[in-house]
């Protein structure tokens, strides 16, 4: 991960050193001291911590903890060394030799070609560097006072959105706009949740490549990604038959269909589990409450959805992020499949609304419960009832809404 070395980083490290407290400095105090929004400070603190983004850990200069309703930040030993190094450089500004500031352990001036994306990016076959899931863009902050001067232009973290082509046995099937992280899991989860393969064993291999994006587009610095999957012959034959059935259609409707006759809204029935039917709201909300601390990329850049896996006791074991809510769910499904955990007892928690596509994907994977932070659509409620799936929405502690498993009587 590229560590942002700009005025904001310097000011934030200096403020933490100046306001040094044994228990840490509160986020509101930092925001007031720097005259910046708390969200901008939290994003930068995340980048300066030791969280892993795009397979690369941060420098570990700060540590952020939550105590009750408060977020506290403090410098680590590595952060103090960084501040001391900056002071040394300032004192030696007339020296002919530039100062070398301490950086992340094992870091060098240039990123190695194998760095960046999770999922075995084969840079030898690539014509572009691996795109980062979080990139830097120039921003100018404006306040509510129309007479106040806007802030100077500064670098800030932004979530990447790049084209990702999914290629099955050499046949390009779909191009999705996604965050370039966990792409092996994304491709496998997509193949499973869309019914392109029946089991994880139907996928014999996955390779991820970086490519130059057409006309230099792509939020990851002009690059795109291709994920190549080698799938079982019977699944590939079915995929080609599906493509032939869609040939010649020009509508931009659901998954390429352009007629109501081609629309399939009959979900698979999930296996009944008493624990999912009787799960108390407190357990659902426990899982929801644990999500923000694991949403590393969203804390750094915003704009990312999260899909998390929770045990029947409400403990989160996995959380995957993407700019698209469907992509985040596919990444989660793929992660479970890659680790041989498909079919394990548990449920999905998501930071988004509940749409019918999310319900269908969960039903196809026999997931008995879906809980989302925002509200569901009517079709999501109806499909969940038809699938026998427990659906929770508006899960915002201390409240949550459970939707009826069957249509209410008139």
Residue 87: pLDDT band with limits 50, 70, 90: low
Report the b/e string of 146-170 with b at 16+ CB within 10 A.
eeeeeeeebbbbbbbbbbbbbbbbe
Residue 2: pLDDT band with limits 50, 70, 90: low
Residue 54: pLDDT band with limits 50, 70, 90: low
User: Given 252, 255, 362, 395, which residue is catalytic?
Assistant: 252
pLDDT surpassing 70 at residue 371: yes
Q: Flag the least confident range among 6-20, 47-61, 92-106, 188-202.
A: 92-106
pLDDT of residue 100: 44
pLDDT surpassing 60 at residue 271: yes
pLDDT surpassing 80 at residue 89: no
CATH class of the domain at 7-91: mainly alpha
Question: Is residue 335 within 8 Å of residue 189, measured between CB atoms?
Answer: yes
Instruction: Please state, for a pLDDT cut of 70, what percent of the chain lies above it.
Output: 78
pLDDT surpassing 90 at residue 167: yes
pLDDT surpassing 90 at residue 321: yes
- Residues 343-366: pLDDT tens digits? 999 999 999 999 999 999 999 999
Higher pLDDT, 128 or 267: 267
Q: Which of 111, 87, 107 is closest to 99 using CA atoms?
A: 87
pLDDT surpassing 70 at residue 214: no
Higher pLDDT, 209 or 257: 209
Is 252 a residue of the active site?
yes
CATH fold for domain 162-259: Ubiquitin-like (UB roll) (3.10.20)
- How far is it, in rounded angstroms, from Cα 13 to Cα 32? 15
pLDDT of residue 92: 56
pLDDT of residue 3: 66
Listing DSSP states for 53-104 in one string gives ETTEE----EEEEEETTEEEEEE-HHHHHHHHHHHHHHHTTTSSSPP----S
pLDDT surpassing 80 at residue 116: no
Residue 162: pLDDT band with limits 50, 70, 90: very high
- How far is it, in rounded angstroms, from Cα 361 to Cα 387? 11
pLDDT surpassing 80 at residue 160: yes
Q: Which residue has the tokens 């998954």?
A: 255
- How far is it, in rounded angstroms, from Cα 234 to Cα 101? 57
- Residues 3-13: pLDDT tens digits? 666 778 888 88
Give the SS3 label for residue 321: strand
Give the predicted TM-score (pTM) of the model. Answer: 0.71
pLDDT surpassing 60 at residue 119: no
pLDDT of residue 148: 83
pLDDT of residue 107: 36
pLDDT surpassing 90 at residue 229: yes
What mean pLDDT value characterizes the chain? Answer: 82
pLDDT of residue 272: 95
Mean pLDDT value of segment 169-188: 95
Pick the CATH number of 274-402 from 3.40.140.10, 3.40.50.300, 3.40.30.10, 1.10.8.60: 3.40.140.10
Mean pLDDT value of segment 151-172: 92
pLDDT surpassing 50 at residue 196: yes
Encoded tokens for 326: 């469907």
Residue 90: pLDDT band with limits 50, 70, 90: low
pLDDT of residue 239: 93
Segments making up each domain of the chain, as ranges: 7-91, 162-259, 274-402
Mean pLDDT value of segment 371-396: 96
């Amino acid at each position: 991960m590229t560590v942002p070395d700009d005025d904001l980083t310097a000011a934030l490290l200096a403020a933490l050193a100046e306001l040094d407290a044994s228990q840490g400095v509160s986020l509101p105090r930092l925001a007031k001291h720097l005259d910046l929004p708390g969200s901008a400070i939290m994003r930068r603190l995340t980048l300066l911590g030791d969280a892993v983004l795009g397979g690369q850990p941060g420098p570990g200069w700060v540590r952020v903890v939550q105590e009750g309703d408060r977020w506290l930040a403090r410098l680590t030993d590595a952060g103090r060394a960084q501040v001391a190094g900056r002071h040394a450089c300032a004192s030696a500004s007339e020296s002919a030799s530039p100062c070398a500031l301490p950086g992340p352990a094992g870091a060098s001036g240039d990123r190695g070609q194998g760095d960046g994306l999770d999922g075995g990016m084969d840079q030898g076959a690539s014509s572009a560097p691996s795109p980062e899931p979080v990139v830097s863009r120039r921003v100018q902050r404006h306040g509510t006072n129309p007479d106040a001067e806007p802030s100077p232009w500064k670098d800030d973290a932004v979530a990447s959105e790049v084209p990702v082509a999914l290629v099955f046995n050499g046949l390009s099937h779909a191009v999705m706009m996604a965050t370039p992280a966990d792409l092996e899991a994304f491709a496998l989860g997509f193949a499973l949740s869309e019914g392109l393969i029946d089991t994880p064993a139907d996928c014999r291999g996955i390779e991820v490549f970086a490519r130059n994006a057409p006309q230099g587009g792509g939020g990851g610095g002009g690059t795109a990604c291709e994920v190549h999957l080698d799938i079982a012959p019977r699944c590939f034959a079915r995929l080609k038959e599906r493509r032939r059935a869609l040939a010649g259609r020009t509508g931009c409707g659901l998954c390429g269909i352009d007629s109501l006759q081609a629309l399939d809204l009959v979900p698979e029935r999930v296996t009944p589990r008493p624990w999912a039917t009787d799960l108390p709201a407190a357990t659902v909300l426990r899982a929801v409450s644990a999500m923000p601390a694991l949403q590393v990329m969203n804390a750094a850049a915003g704009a990312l959805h999260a899909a998390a896996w929770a045990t029947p006791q409400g403990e989160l074991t996995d959380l995957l992020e993407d700019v698209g809510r469907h992509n985040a769910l596919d990444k989660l499904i793929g992660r479970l499949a890659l680790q041989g955990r498909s079919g394990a007892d548990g449920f999905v928690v998501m930071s988004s609304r509940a749409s019918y596509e999310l319900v269908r994907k969960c039903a196809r994977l026999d997931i008995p419960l879906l809980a989302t932070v925002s509200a569901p659509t009517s079709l999501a409620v109806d499909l969940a009832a038809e699938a026998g799936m427990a659906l929770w929405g508006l899960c915002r502690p201390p409240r949550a809404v459970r939707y009826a498993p069957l249509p209410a009587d008139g």
